[in-house]
Structure 1
Amino acid sequence: MQRSLVFLVLFCFSLLVRADLTIEITQGVDEPTPVAVVPFAWEGAQTLPEDVAQVVSDDLYTSGMFKMMPRDNMLSFPSDRNSLYFRDWRISGSDYIVIGRITEAADNQLSVAFELYDILKEERVLGEVVNASRTSLRAVGHYISDKVFEALTGVRGAFSTKIVYVTAEQPRPSVYRYRLMLADSDGHNPRTILESKEPIMSPAWSRDGSKLAYVSFETGRPSVYVQYLATGKREKVQSFRGINGAPAWSPDGNKLALVLSKDGNPEVYILDLIQRRLNRVTHHFGIDTEPSWSPDGQSLIFTSDRGGQPQIYSIYLPSRDITRLTFEGSYNARGRLTQDGRFLAMVNQSNGSFHIAVQDLKTGRMELLTETFMDESPTIAPNGSIIMYATQEGIRGVLAAVSLDGRVKFRLPSSSGDVREPAWSPFQ
């Protein structure tokens, strides 16, 4: 808890100017799969606002699992099976190729057809036609990336998902501006969800992706708010004296787990949003904080120093039985479960630094995934493949990510300044 308060103080005095994010790969798999994404054919009169093929190529590249062929090295630009000569592409070293074409459709819509081919087998792996508006072409690119990624890896793609994060700027001395930002998973299309002169913390997605819960200090003390993304409507759901923090949505979207100190000590509570009933979950003189739900909604994991040092525990809600989950290291906190409930991501203290770690709850094995300094706030992609987190780069805070097996790493630095508190959306 003390470390969380220290982080809040540091965050409130950080300097930030903008919030645009770009992905920089720092480590990929040893032998990435060679893939060519050919520019999609287009014969319309007006230039398209997005290069769909480039979006697909960028997505696949930033996964760290694929080696993309530069367009300058392409001998031709096929857009259908009849113009695709597999021998040429085998010579070029590609294992797979994505081709496509965009045509005008009725009602000012566009028709985007794409195909994925196995070059070595000379077989079509998948193909589909998607209707879209001109303004949704980037989303179509992410959709195609998801389909190609799943076809080649067997894992559902998460390029079409969203992220939220918190930024702050100091326009003049002693004046701060905080923003809750929403963006595509690759950092593009950022927009402001909330702007405030006071700190914003702990954003959390509802399971259906329609709402956010977060903590705002706009009234001078921490309060928990829920905001509807489609309408912008927001409501204060909890504001007791003392700590009101760390909201976490239940899988059914009807409850929020919270940390409150209204009874004198930070404890975990569950707020029923339909009946507006508050139920205290933990009862201990230690500090209980950072709750997160199990996928089945039957348990909560949380951080507690009840054993003398911060560790992660699980409480089975029907019986209130508590189990300690982490034992390696003097500090384990901010636990988050993958959607299958098997892997637990967390912040682990090792040799004086804080790193992102993952523990296999089936075997008990823990593995450190990062080597950066002051890593915080892990959030897991809905397909369970990537953990995004906040870290330090020099004197600035940036977002970074690492695959669950530690083989792929990338950063999402802002153009300048700090970015913190990431939260990855569910599938939408």
Structure 2
Amino acid sequence: MSKISRRIFLLAGLLTAGFAQAQLSIEITGAGANRIPVAIADFAGDPTLARIVVGTARADLERSGLFKMIDASGATLDENSPVDHAAWRSRGADALAAGSLVRLPDGRIEARFRLNDTQKAVALGGAAYVTNNAQLRLAGHRIADFIYEKLTGEPGVFSTRIAYVVKSRGQYLLQIADADGQGAATALTSSEPIISPVWSPDGGRLAYVSFEKKKPVIYVHTLSTGHRHIVANFKGSNSAPAWSPDGNRLAVVLSKDGNSQIYSVNVDGSGLRRLTQSAGIDTEPRFAADGTSIFFTSDRGGSPQIYRVDAGGGAAQRVTFEGSYNVSPRPSPDGRSLAFITRREGRFQLAIMDLASRQVQVLTDSNKDESPSFAPNSRMILIATEVGGRGLLSAVSSDGRIKQRLSVSAGDVREPAWGPFIK
């Protein structure tokens, strides 16, 4: 294990307790054309615990649409077991992961594993993750992230989290779940609407709009403690918060001076500064990945379109020109793309623009898409949509090939926000 990195991760006390969970279920509706065949052997150690870790990792890779899982049932291998590369190649596996679970003296569990390239008959590396019984699924997510990155060259997002709002029986629940929809817990419940949740860059806080004061007010909520504070409660509407990449400021939309315009404010509510000046409505701000500019929606030209302004304010430049309705700009974390909602033939659909070429591709065939949110590796986009009059979430790859559908049996799901990488 000398070449295997050791990392400790314990997630505890992140969410307030005492509320009913609304678990997301995922349905795969599209997959990549050329999936990588991968096998994950049964891990050595406690069989019950190993099934949780291995089952989670297998499900993550299968769900991604990029991997074809090769049946490895009945093969128990630890990270040091000799690998018969030819035998695994004959089963159709290009890569094989094997590992073990070891109980440490302090009662915690170490999940060790190694990944092998069966085509080249070489080891690709491995890791050891220290966790506890309650966080075994996170170990599985971390293993899947490792395999994903080694085989695709891009970071995996299986260990990230998502936030969303469930409306059920007259209540609004702000929920946090694993990226696969499991482990849902409620951060806030209210009889009034909760909208526009957005994650802080460090993944420890959410900003959102709550109507609990009978008007839209912006809050910042610290997940580890449940503490929250008001950032904007000015006359009129306070809406659409967006974090700066350094986590120190928020772009917000205020109507205190007339029409809705974009302002920036420190996270503690101080340092308010107006950024846009127009006779129209400016809304839905989002910082570019490098923090130097802000994308936003405006009807200043007569119809809703997407514009861009320097983060310090100034003259705005129009970004979208195709069609008469383009809203909800979401720049990708890698800075290359812009996701947004476009109206085509009366249908509201998710589209993506390559910012270098300005080429636009519509990614969905649905009717009522809204609230796009990029995964932190920029490869998937989470949206709210509607099927049969019921709100649910969909995840679509940035090339449109891979599709997933996430729903809750107990209510409508809206306002998705994909969290950052967990460090």
Contact 1:18 1:417 in 2 (8 A): no
Task: Tell me the residue number matched to 2:201.
Answer: 207
Task: Tell me the residue number matched to 2:401.
Answer: 407
- CA displacement at 1:78 relative to structure 2: 2.6
- CA displacement at 1:35 relative to structure 2: 0.9
AA matched with 1:269 = Y
Unaligned runs of 5+ in 2: 1-19
Superposition pairs for residues 356-375 of structure 1, below 5 Å? 356-375=350-369
Q: Secondary structure at the match of 2:49?
A: coil
AA matched with 1:68 = M
Superposition pairs for residues 18-417 of structure 1, below 5 Å? 19-43=22-46, 47-48=48-49, 51-71=52-72, 74=73, 76-170=75-169, 176-274=170-268, 276-318=270-312, 320-417=314-411
Task: Tell me the residue number matched to 2:9.
Answer: none
Contact 1:50 1:138 in 2 (8 A): no
Distance in 2 between residues matched to 1:275 and 1:400, nearest whole Å: 34
Greater displacement, 310-319 / 290-299: 310-319
Contact 1:267 1:289 in 2 (8 A): yes
AA matched with 2:63 = T
- CA displacement at 1:274 relative to structure 2: 5.0
Query: TM-score scaled to structure 1, two decimals?
Result: 0.91
AA matched with 1:109 = R
Q: Deviations over 1:96-149 (max 9, x none)?
A: 111111122110021211111111221111112222222221111111111110
Distance in 2 between residues matched to 1:157 and 1:121, nearest whole Å: 23
Distance in 2 between residues matched to 1:96 and 1:27, nearest whole Å: 23
Greater displacement, 208-217 / 270-279: 270-279
Contact 1:19 1:419 in 2 (8 A): no
- CA displacement at 1:88 relative to structure 2: 2.2
Contact 2:194 2:208 in 1 (8 A): yes
Q: Secondary structure at the match of 1:55?
A: helix
Q: Secondary structure at the match of 1:130?
A: strand
Distance in 1 between residues matched to 2:328 and 2:36, nearest whole Å: 34
Q: Deviations over 1:144-191 (max 9, x none)?
A: 111110000000111111110011112xxxxx1111001111111111
1:55 and 1:288, CA in 2 relative to 1: closer, same or farther beyond 3 A? same
Q: Deviations over 1:391-425 (max 9, x none)?
A: 11212111101111112111112124210000011
AA matched with 1:244 = N
Q: Deviations over 1:83-103 (max 9, x none)?
A: 432222222111111111112
Distance in 1 between residues matched to 2:46 and 2:198, nearest whole Å: 43
AA matched with 2:144 = S
Q: Secondary structure at the match of 2:62?
A: helix
1:134 and 1:352, CA in 2 relative to 1: closer, same or farther beyond 3 A? same
Q: Secondary structure at the match of 1:41?
A: coil
Distance in 1 between residues matched to 2:231 and 2:121, nearest whole Å: 58
- CA displacement at 1:354 relative to structure 2: 0.6
Q: Deviations over 1:176-217 (max 9, x none)?
A: 111100111111111111100100000011111111111101
RMSD: 1.7
- CA displacement at 1:327 relative to structure 2: 0.7
Contact 1:216 1:222 in 2 (8 A): yes
Identity fraction in percent: 45
Query: TM-score scaled to structure 2, two decimals?
Result: 0.92
1:96 and 1:354, CA in 2 relative to 1: closer, same or farther beyond 3 A? same
Q: Secondary structure at the match of 1:54?
A: helix
Greater displacement, 225-234 / 18-27: 18-27
- CA displacement at 1:307 relative to structure 2: 1.0
Q: Secondary structure at the match of 1:346?
A: strand
- CA displacement at 1:317 relative to structure 2: 3.2
Task: Tell me the residue number matched to 1:3.
Answer: none
